[in-house]
Structure 1
Amino acid sequence: MSKAPSSGRKLFNGIEASGTFPVEYRFSHAKSGNRHLVVVFANFSAPEDYGWSNGVFDNVRANILWIRDRFDGMNAYYLCRNMDFGLADSVQALIANFVRALGLTPDQVTLWGGSKGGSAALYLGLMHGYRNIVAIVPQFLIGDALEKRHPKVGAYMLGEGAPAHNARILDALIPDLVRRQANRGANIYVLSSPQDEHYTVQVEPFLGMFHGYENFNYLHSESPTIQGHATATRRNVPALVGLLNLLADGYAPRLGFARHAQEEFDRDQSAVDAYLASTAKVQNADAFPPPEVTTPGVNSEVPATGVRFIGHAPGAVRVSMWENGKFLASPPVAPDGAWTWEPERTWTRGKHSVKIFAVSPAGFHSARVEVPFTVSDRAAAPLPAVGANPGPGAPFAADTGLHPGRPLRPPVVTAPGPQHPVATAVAFHGHAMGAAEVRFRENGVVLGSVGVAPNGNWGWEPGWAWPEGPHLVEAVSVDTTGMESPPTLTAFTVMPASVPTGYFTPRY
């Protein structure tokens, strides 16, 4: 959940990942029991690609849904990638899910956007029958705008080489909907200015096409303060925000009857609350577990030049690391869940606390884990003599594994037992004093790895069914510098499913 804006409205961040493209959003509940939804689309200059998120809607009474125009790191007019309009379908699915969760109908929805966001508001509003559309200096010829002003976005949307015939397809999207008088009963408000460089080509030629619409309104803004497209976008925002509250209350400025919007202060919000929870950007531990950090240990002491982070984050593509609100790094996560980061700097002496969260392929975040540690010049505690076996569960928390000149000992494997017959689901357990992780190989092929807990214990469950017959697996300890120990050989035999093994998996 992000910080509340100045008005105190709480913001919810989420991702709708059920469609072809994950769509990120922010949402704020309505004020005073209002029963309306405003959907906001971004222009090119919008911070973080969330349009009109600078507090301009603080006093709007409606529910507000901001949709991010950021897909694979690029803008897309909320329409397509490589001409795949599954992107626009994914955006529409998000809007429809909120309409459903709030118990609304398309007649209780306003789409709002400026520039490319205005184009998106027009296209999606006309295509899907939303009652109110506010488009501020939109571009009707989207392909033409891409070719002339946004070639990188054009390459993303139009495909390799940005073919001209694909640009012409995008040029026709909005004009064709208007010619067919799609959503003829919509209340449409278009604002532009002759000082906007887009006006002559992108707006003025298309205004007459709306002649058959029941309530089309064009706001023509002329002012010496307007100098180009960007200022034309902002010039009349205060008046248009006032229009939003009228629309939210059920008034569409036009001749004829208008009914004041329905208000329900005590309406059941469980449906929208459930949707917000299911699509929340920060997922709960059951849906997406937080990353495991094995090094440095909690409240451990590490040298200033030897800080290294090692851990596991199953199901993640990367982890994100922060200290005191400042971004540190985002190392990738290997297919087996392992990740590591070694900063190229000397850490200041004293206490540190790094917060880490995992990021899924769709962009969801896990809960944060906090790793407090102390950077110190004090030498690490000495290891026991090589070959000593402290036994399972012995306290290793004081051992950081940083012992220059001392060989790293092989891990102790307590399960499966030597030559033990096992089922096809094999679990490995043991302890590895001074190690950051344990790696596994068979016949020279790396099988995976697992982090070592602060007390030295580790457990690895590969997650696949092993072939029947004998196996010989090598396990090696790995320290914080990446140095491996000599291997520990573990021999076991996988028995047919019909043969009872009597196998017991220990838990620590």
Structure 2
Amino acid sequence: MSLIIKAEKAIDLLKTKYLMKCKQSTYSGEKYNIKYLFEEKKGSKDLLIVFTACTKVGQKARYNYIKTLDEFKCNKLFILDDFGFDERGAYYLGKDKDFAIEKDVESLINYICEKIGPNKEFYIGSSKGGYAALYFGVRRKDTYIVVGAPQYNLGNYLNLPGHTEILKYIMGNCSQESIRILNELLKEVLIINKENRNKIFLHYSDKEETFDSDLKPLIDELRSLNYESEFDLEHYESHAELTKYYPQYIKKILSKNLSR
């Protein structure tokens, strides 16, 4: 990693910590309190809704892409997923099969949308955040969904070494039935909402470790369901490398599609 990139990441981290300490709000849902940052821009009818990826082991969840999106002067809603056994996240879904985090996050999104009445909604996230951006974004009509290498067969992914505690937190166990339910979750949402006229922009690599298990099946499903989709293909060899490429893709898509 170059010194410039390291410096940018350090600055981004400092700003994020400041915002979490001084600007963070809490939405009281029916069961869970959802932490978020909302940057309101008077006169803008665009809303960016940004979800968090998993942090490293031992590092609590924090907001993503704050610096990346700083140049875009519009409404921004950053939603934190700090649930889970180690506060690194529960895929915005729930605990012990209650799926109540999901309902409260959806309620927060509805609350902010009612508050500002956006003409355009952009759902943004990578990896875990990309899963959430798809999961929540396709439920609303005419949205723009800009994602980087999301998981798709979530049950299989969380059943891998290093992730099973997340699976156990969300579903209460690691049974084959729990794995099956999570594998079908995003697919069912895509099928149910295929008439919502969403536009999906997907950045991915065909060389990284989740391509065959998650990305290729997702791409095939989007094509099968006739989603309006655009694919940004790279060839890096590690899922972790998407953070080098995806931020520029966000900027490219927003520059083309934000209101003028």
TM-score normalised by structure 2 residue count: 0.82
Question: Which whole-Å CA distance do the structure 2 matches of 1:18 and 1:111 have between them?
Answer: 21
* More moved, 110-119 vs 168-177: 168-177
Is 2:218 the counterpart of 1:206? yes
**Per the alignment, in what secondary structure is the counterpart of residue 49 of structure 1?**
coil
Residue matched to 1:221 = 234
- Counterpart of 1:99 (choices 84, 91, 113) is 113
Q: Percent identity?
A: 23
Kindly provide the CA deviation profile for residues 334-378 of structure 1, in whole angstroms up to 9, marking residues without a partner as x: xxxxxxxxxxxxxxxxxxxxxxxxxxxxxxxxxxxxxxxxxxxxx
Residue matched to 1:26 = 37
- Counterpart of 1:116 (choices 128, 131, 140) is 128
Provide the alpha-carbon RMSD of the alignment. 2.6
Task: Point out the structure with the larger helix share.
Answer: 2
If asked which structure has higher relative contact order (CA below 8 Å, sep 6+), I would say: 2
Question: Which whole-Å CA distance do the structure 2 matches of 1:28 and 1:112 have between them?
Answer: 15
Q: Deviation of residue 74 (structure 1)?
A: 4.8
**Per the alignment, in what secondary structure is the counterpart of residue 235 of structure 1?**
helix
Which residues of 2 match residues 227-242 of structure 1 at below 5 A? 227-242=237-252
1:138 maps to amino acid? P
2:76 maps to amino acid? I
2:197 maps to amino acid? G
Is 2:95 the counterpart of 1:78? no
Q: Which structure has the larger Rg over C-alpha atoms?
A: 1
**Per the alignment, in what secondary structure is the counterpart of residue 25 of structure 1?**
strand
2:184 maps to amino acid? A
Kindly provide the CA deviation profile for residues 459-501 of structure 1, in whole angstroms up to 9, marking residues without a partner as x: xxxxxxxxxxxxxxxxxxxxxxxxxxxxxxxxxxxxxxxxxxx
Is 2:137 the counterpart of 1:125? yes
Does the 8 A contact of 2:142 with 2:196 survive in 1?
Answer: no
Which residues of 2 match residues 38-437 of structure 1 at below 5 A? 38-45=48-55, 48-71=60-83, 73-104=87-118, 107-129=119-141, 131-148=143-160, 149-159=162-172, 161-211=173-223, 212-213=225-226, 215-222=228-235, 226-249=236-259, 260=260
Task: Point out the structure with the larger strand share.
Answer: 1
Q: Deviation of residue 182 (structure 1)?
A: 2.7
Where in structure 2 are there 5+ consecutive unaligned residues?
A: 1-13
Question: Which whole-Å CA distance do the structure 2 matches of 1:158 and 1:247 have between them?
Answer: 38
Does the 8 A contact of 1:81 with 1:156 survive in 2?
Answer: yes
Does the 8 A contact of 2:128 with 2:150 survive in 1?
Answer: yes
2:190 maps to amino acid? V
Residue matched to 2:3 = none
Please identify runs of 4+ aligned residues in structure 1 that moved more than 6 A.
none
Question: Which whole-Å CA distance do the structure 2 matches of 1:116 and 1:188 have between them?
Answer: 16
1:244 maps to amino acid? L
Kindly provide the CA deviation profile for residues 280-303 of structure 1, in whole angstroms up to 9, marking residues without a partner as x: xxxxxxxxxxxxxxxxxxxxxxxx
Question: Which whole-Å CA distance do the structure 2 matches of 1:12 and 1:85 have between them?
Answer: 27
1:130–1:83 CA distance, 2 compared to 1 (3 A): farther
1:71–1:125 CA distance, 2 compared to 1 (3 A): same
1:99 maps to amino acid? C
Residue matched to 2:8 = none
